[in-house]
Amino acid sequence: MQSDKEKTLCSERKKRQKIRKKKRIPKERDFRIFEEEMGCEFEKMFACPESKDYREHFNQVLVSILTKNNALELLLFLAVGGYG
């Protein structure tokens, strides 16, 4: 069974595939929704337990994101300004 996280990532991949297939650029509202969703997701992922070294946790999360998503989600998140 897929976790909620895997379902979300699968859903996002399908959306990107539709964009590429239809050669349609989403409206700004769609980008804002994506930015909010990914911002929340990244915030949860980077929340470090107090018992763990933050640098180690950060590096593990970053490698995980880059590996699972071929760096696309992270690059999009950073391109739209990250948390700021």
CA distances from 10 to 56, 62, 84 (A): 27, 19, 26
Model confidence pLDDT, tens digit, residues 31-58: 788 888 888 888 898 999 999 999 999 9
> Percent of the chain scored above 70 by pLDDT?
65
Quote the pLDDT of residue 6: 62
Question: Of 31, 40, 32, 48, whose CA–CA distance to 8 is shortest?
Answer: 40
Q: How confident is the model over 17-32, as a mean pLDDT?
A: 74
CA 65 to chain centre: 7
For the entire predicted model, the pTM comes to 0.45
